[in-house]
Amino acid sequence: MEKILFIINPIAGKKAGKNINQDIIRYLDTDKFKPHFKYSEYAGHISEIAKQALEEKYKAIIVVGGDGTVNEAARVLVQSNVPMGIIPSGSGNGLARHLKIPLTIKGAVKLINKMQILQMDAIKINNMYSFCVAGVGFDAEVSRMFQKMEARGLFSYIIACLRCFNQSKNQNFIVQTKEKEYRLNGFMLCFANASQFGNNAYIAPGADVSDGIVDLVLVKKPSYLQIPLFAYKILTGTVENHSLYNRRTGKAFEITQENDFAHLDGEPTIVGTKFTVTVEEKVLRVIY
């Protein structure tokens, strides 16, 4: 019998209820696996639990939470060989949705029983990891606003978007690659490992988490009239041909921005006005 650790973030989203451990036990193949449960109690606790868990030789470490929670565990598990599973219970669940992990506890646990592994890439912003999507500009401002709001969930997220939209404008970015320097102007610049932010908002349709490539997406600020079509195209994965949208790919960039902050998988953080974006290939084993 092999032991599996479930790290539960009780405040991620609303779905991770009190009795989630019983739901997990109900669907877990307990002939094969013995579940252990740990609950995060403060910011940074998930990384600490994951670090300690690496010494305790679990067969797999499963994160119950959203993209922020997944990031906290994954940044410890990279390069470790211990596979990470996800039971999605955040507000966006971008990485889980990208990997087509079921959003129900039952479906997600049944996937864990099969233990099928994908070796996925990680994006590095300076020395910090992003596994889903990172970015600067509008979406970083939204993540900042969202973090300050008391209520989580999709509704609060939409409110944060609306509030930021008025204040946010196009800014100048310099994107430096090995070969060339691009001077760009846009509303947001995203670094995508996965294809979506979460909630099926496809910022980089076609992005692949294990191709060793960063999808770099520039979006110009839409006018109010352009928002409905642009939003429709984002939500249907057809944004690629929109006039406000531009996508490049690469393995390493140096970015100059007007602000000094970014978001990494939805969590705001300071990166400076000049920072690097690189990719580490196939460094995280994920159950999918």
Which residues of the chain form contacts with Mg ion (CB under 5 A)?
208, 211, 213
Q: How far is the CB of 100 from Mg ion (least distance, A)?
A: 16
Q: How far apart are CA 136 and CA 190, in angstroms?
A: 6
Q: How far is the CB of 285 from Mg ion (least distance, A)?
A: 16
Nearer to Mg ion, 13 or 94 (CB): 94
Q: How far is the CB of 203 from Mg ion (least distance, A)?
A: 13
Q: How far is the CB of 208 from Mg ion (least distance, A)?
A: 5
Nearer to Mg ion, 203 or 213 (CB): 213
Tokens of 185: 């102007």
Q: How far is the CB of 249 from Mg ion (least distance, A)?
A: 8
DSSP β-ladder status, 84-88 and 60-65: parallel
Give the phi and the psi of residue 24 in degrees, each rounded to 5: -65, -45
For 135-163, give the DSSP string.
Answer: EEEHHHHHHHHHHH-S--HHHHHHHHHHH
Nearer to Mg ion, 50 or 192 (CB): 192
H or E element that contains 68: helix 67-77
Nearer to Mg ion, 208 or 240 (CB): 208
Q: How far apart are CA 221 and CA 198, in angstroms?
A: 20
Nearer to Mg ion, 100 or 148 (CB): 100
Q: How far is the CB of 56 from Mg ion (least distance, A)?
A: 32
Nearer to Mg ion, 97 or 152 (CB): 97
DSSP β-ladder status, 261-264 and 252-256: unpaired
CB 235 within 8 A of CB 269: no
The residues that bridge with 38 in the sheet, in sequence order, are: 7
Q: How many CB atoms lie within 10 A of CB 1?
A: 8
